A and B are shown apart, each in its own frame.
Chain A
């Protein structure tokens, strides 16, 4: 479950993360982070593709991500079936399906197992609060092309993915995230044009 949280907050982590990556032309992560800090509310549609190594065709999902500062996150899959993950500081609510077959699970954040795969949970709370130091502790970040960054966990054992690629637009929005799992499975999330509300102050 914490992996879900990880993937949900990842865009913000990435926006928020900063490193000395000003060497190339294009956007650097510091700028993305600053931009993110200025956001009060964000809503963006996305397409998710899961490519399992032994499946011919990928699983295609469509959804919406909504974020309200300081730490309200809503990850909603609309197709092929409804699935909603609501995350706040205290709990995670997962609603799966609709009508009679709908199941609702509520997890208290404290009840979540902190195993080797999701130690990132601790740092994620820091990410939600824009604690950039937490991210730097766990990931090495490199810019490998214009507006494209590679995140590699320092501890391969404590992370469920091997590496993560991220592409941002000229407008400092996340365009695409690609997660490479240890098993060889691949997850691609492509974001649309976001609706953004900037903080007043």
Chain B
């Protein structure tokens, strides 16, 4: 029977592997965003029109810019990236713009009606005469495909794009006040693909070779994602190293203090972590680096159960394990609630924690049953002194925990989670304050291409009437009816052309592409999208952009196009979602824990006192927030939720000790609480020095929370019991 159960268990675990994906380790920034918001972001980040990034260079004050050399260096360095660059003003007609311009020149006849005969001749001759400029055979071959000089029409728009209030030097922007140059580059991959961005950054640094400039900043979705990922990797590396060092110190301490049996807990805990990692991988298909960093710290909290078990009296009849069980249940309640979060990282962390905590607990308990002699260690003979000051401090923390409900105002914006090097702040401010048109209202449309063209044309017309700048497919391609009309006007020229030998000969490469009677409008169907329109298309959807310049225009756009949103509006969905989640998550977690506590103590008073370490932890954190002006993000809140879990373990055991329940052993409880607090503090202290704000915020809430929790348990709970004795007040009696 047992064997069958075991095999069924193994099979059910292995069956989860069908969900697993090839790449198991995830370090992306995605997991930090709620899945709903992430999808919204991805929806518009899939469109190449949002794949523009900016290289920012600064020249010494008073020094003039050698534009020729700068552009040349830029072109040479960008060429080394292979196909990574989609467009850049550094490249000439021979660069990545070439296929786009060829499509643009080909479709001149669908955009424009045929001009009058004399104008036609002029256009032909104008293009032929351009060949006299001797720009090389490659450019000449392009001119032969552009009889109507449409390249000027495109380049005029291309170099204007950006909306910057700077001087425009052939597509490179210059701020004479700061002596800074801005080079826009559009990449060929979505922002989530960061593998080549590091290389691009280092090549961008080399653009200043032979010049006195310096790359002082990079802006844009690709660079931002890359910087965040790089910082997370660095932080994870540091935190992991410190974690191993702490583990080594504890092992050394246990060996030197001859409490070597405590070392048995480590392999059990380690196996539990491995197993929970496996389960997490099998469920999610990959494990995020942050889950691997913080998950073990949370599972490490299970060490408390092992310590309590080991330091329990030999004649303990299960009272300690009952208390342990309720400690586990109250902790699990938090993580079960987190399972319903929309943040993929928190889901992973919750699964990792729940499985790790349960497996650790069960394995400790089985160990205790199988080898009770090996699973026992004498506690340190601790007789902690009473410090009035700590008692007072615990009341101060309690006071600040009440204040927290009024002053703690977490900023849930995604910007809080965005890593930004300190030196980049001023540059970012400068960049955005000078780029008024960079916050467009985005509208994503879906459906039949012909209808999309028609709708887009209507929107363009509407925007023109309102005086609002518009960008979309119809900025470059008219609706089908107009295209058909235009083509019809060209047919006599294309079918019965009688031009001079020179015109026929020179533009032969152009005529080759346009067979008479086989010229149709550009319908965008069947995946046949001209290169110059590909920026507006992703996954069969199309994007329209409105560029409002005032709040009134934003309102107008919203009214006429209810599905249009600015980037800020899309990302604010995240904070709204999270606020909504926390409104029910926190009270629910507290309620579940309180129910477990009440079930355990059968006393509302004791249950509430057991909550004191959590509130002192919250108060301590709030005090630090006020004192150090710390930022509070949703990650800080998650840290507090985790703190809530372990603080209740302290609460249960210390309340037990105070009322001498479950055959509590003073030395055993204090030894466990001291060791546990020490491991928690040492475990989370490195995060205080992390570079990434998400890790910093987690470290701050857990570290300061753990200090407050310890003081609340060590001094606060005994002080409350003493106070109760002194005044003879009992909540139960009152009720």
Complex Cα spacing A41 to B68, Å: 30
Interface status of A3 (Cβ within 8 A of chain B): yes
By Cβ-Cβ distance, the 6 closest A-B pairs, closest first, are A183-B137, A114-B68, A81-B125, A80-B125, A81-B129, A97-B126
Name which residue of chain A comes closest to B152, CB basis: A103
With a cutoff of 8 Å between Cβ atoms, the chain A residues found around residue B68 in the complex are 110-114, 121
Q: Is the CB of A97 within 8 A of B136?
A: no
Interface status of A77 (Cβ within 8 A of chain B): yes
Q: Which of B305-362 contact A (CB under 8 A)?
A: none
Q: Which of A44-78 contact B (CB under 8 A)?
A: 48, 50, 52, 55-57, 59, 61, 63, 77
Q: Which of A130-150 contact B (CB under 8 A)?
A: none
**Chain A nearest CB, measured from B374 CB (Å):** 77
Interface status of B92 (Cβ within 8 A of chain A): yes
Q: Is the CB of A113 within 8 A of B132?
A: no
**Chain A nearest CB, measured from B175 CB (Å):** 16
Q: Is the CB of A4 within 8 A of B134?
A: yes
B125, B128, B134 interface centre (most CB from chain A within 10 Å): B134
Q: Is the CB of B129 within 8 A of A77?
A: yes
Complex Cα spacing A59 to B136, Å: 15
What are 23 A-B residue pairs whose CB atoms fall within 8 Å in the complex? A4-B133, A6-B134, A52-B140, A55-B506, A59-B132, A59-B506, A81-B122, A81-B126, A94-B133, A96-B130, A96-B149, A99-B122, A100-B119, A101-B119, A101-B122, A103-B152, A110-B64, A111-B68, A111-B170, A114-B71, A117-B136, A121-B68, A183-B136
- The range of chain A's interface size is 35 or more
Q: Which of B158-189 contact A (CB under 8 A)?
A: 169-170
| B residues lining the A interface (CB < 8 Å) | 64-69, 71-72, 75, 90, 92, 119, 122-123, 125-126, 128-137, 140, 149, 152, 169-170, 501-502, 505-506
With a cutoff of 8 Å between Cβ atoms, the chain B residues found around residue A89 in the complex are none
Complex Cα spacing A61 to B126, Å: 12
**Chain A nearest CB, measured from B105 CB (Å):** 15
Name which residue of chain B comes closest to A187, CB basis: B134
Name which residue of chain B comes closest to A6, CB basis: B134
Name which residue of chain B comes closest to A97, CB basis: B126
With a cutoff of 8 Å between Cβ atoms, the chain A residues found around residue B129 in the complex are 61, 77, 80-83, 96
Complex Cα spacing A7 to B71, Å: 23
Complex Cα spacing A103 to B133, Å: 15
B64, B90, B130, B136 interface centre (most CB from chain A within 10 Å): B136
Complex Cα spacing A61 to B152, Å: 22
With a cutoff of 8 Å between Cβ atoms, the chain A residues found around residue B137 in the complex are 52, 181-185
**Do A114 and B72 contact each other (CB < 8 Å), given the known contacts A55-B505, A80-B129?**
yes
Q: Is the CB of A111 within 8 A of B130?
A: no
Complex Cα spacing A94 to B133, Å: 10
**Chain B nearest CB, measured from A9 CB (Å):** 13
Interface status of A154 (Cβ within 8 A of chain B): no
Q: Is the CB of B140 within 8 A of A57?
A: no
With a cutoff of 8 Å between Cβ atoms, the chain B residues found around residue A83 in the complex are 126, 129-130, 132-133
Q: Is the CB of A110 within 8 A of B65?
A: yes
Contact of B135 among A4, A97, A110 (CB under 8 A): A4
**Chain B nearest CB, measured from A92 CB (Å):** 11
Q: Which of A1-59 contact B (CB under 8 A)?
A: 1, 3-4, 6-7, 48, 50, 52, 55-57, 59
Q: Is the CB of B134 within 8 A of A179?
A: yes
Complex Cα spacing A178 to B130, Å: 19
Given A3-B135, A59-B132, A185-B140, 15 new contacts (CB under 8 A): A52-B137, A57-B505, A59-B128, A59-B502, A80-B502, A81-B122, A97-B149, A99-B122, A105-B152, A110-B67, A112-B67, A114-B72, A115-B75, A121-B68, A187-B134
Q: Is the CB of A111 within 8 A of B169?
A: yes
With a cutoff of 8 Å between Cβ atoms, the chain A residues found around residue B501 in the complex are 56-57
Contact of A3 among B69, B136, B170 (CB under 8 A): B136
**Do A103 and B132 contact each other (CB < 8 Å), given the known contacts A113-B68, A114-B69?**
no
Contact of A59 among B90, B119, B131, B149 (CB under 8 A): B131
**Chain A nearest CB, measured from B515 CB (Å):** 20
Q: Is the CB of B169 within 8 A of A108?
A: yes
Contact of A80 among B64, B92, B128, B152 (CB under 8 A): B128
Name which residue of chain B comes closest to A160, CB basis: B136
Q: Is the CB of B75 within 8 A of A113?
A: yes
Decide if the interface of chain A is mainly helix, strand, loop or mixed: mixed
Complex Cα spacing A83 to B119, Å: 16
Interface status of A201 (Cβ within 8 A of chain B): no
**Chain A nearest CB, measured from B285 CB (Å):** 48
**Chain B nearest CB, measured from A62 CB (Å):** 10
**Do A97 and B134 contact each other (CB < 8 Å), given the known contacts A103-B152, A108-B67?**
no
Complex Cα spacing A63 to B501, Å: 21
With a cutoff of 8 Å between Cβ atoms, the chain B residues found around residue A55 in the complex are 505-506
**Chain B nearest CB, measured from A117 CB (Å):** 7
Name which residue of chain B comes closest to A94, CB basis: B133
**Chain A nearest CB, measured from B206 CB (Å):** 16
Complex Cα spacing A184 to B133, Å: 17
Complex Cα spacing A83 to B130, Å: 8
**Chain B nearest CB, measured from A19 CB (Å):** 25
**Chain B nearest CB, measured from A125 CB (Å):** 11
With a cutoff of 8 Å between Cβ atoms, the chain A residues found around residue B505 in the complex are 55-57
Q: Is the CB of A97 within 8 A of B506?
A: no
Name which residue of chain A comes closest to B64, CB basis: A110
With a cutoff of 8 Å between Cβ atoms, the chain A residues found around residue B149 in the complex are 96-97, 101, 103
Name which residue of chain A comes closest to B133, CB basis: A4
With a cutoff of 8 Å between Cβ atoms, the chain B residues found around residue A112 in the complex are 67-68
Q: Is the CB of B132 within 8 A of A77?
A: yes
With a cutoff of 8 Å between Cβ atoms, the chain B residues found around residue A115 in the complex are 72, 75, 92
A56, A114, A182 interface centre (most CB from chain B within 10 Å): A114
Complex Cα spacing A63 to B130, Å: 13
Q: Is the CB of B133 within 8 A of A1?
A: yes
**Chain B nearest CB, measured from A80 CB (Å):** 4
- Per-residue CB proximity of A163-201 to B under 8 Å, as 1/0? 000000000000000010111110100000000000000
Q: Is the CB of A3 within 8 A of B125?
A: no
Q: Is the CB of B136 within 8 A of A101?
A: no
**Do A96 and B71 contact each other (CB < 8 Å), given the known contacts A3-B135, A55-B506?**
no
With a cutoff of 8 Å between Cβ atoms, the chain B residues found around residue A80 in the complex are 125, 128-129, 502
**Do A113 and B169 contact each other (CB < 8 Å), given the known contacts A3-B135, A96-B130, A179-B134?**
no
With a cutoff of 8 Å between Cβ atoms, the chain A residues found around residue B75 in the complex are 113, 115
**Chain B nearest CB, measured from A90 CB (Å):** 13
**Do A81 and B128 contact each other (CB < 8 Å), given the known contacts A7-B134, A55-B505, A181-B137?**
yes
Q: Is the CB of A98 within 8 A of B132?
A: no
With a cutoff of 8 Å between Cβ atoms, the chain A residues found around residue B66 in the complex are 110
With a cutoff of 8 Å between Cβ atoms, the chain B residues found around residue A50 in the complex are 131-132
Complex Cα spacing A101 to B69, Å: 33
**Chain B nearest CB, measured from A119 CB (Å):** 9
Contact of B132 among A6, A57, A61 (CB under 8 A): A61
**Do A101 and B67 contact each other (CB < 8 Å), given the known contacts A50-B132, A59-B502?**
no
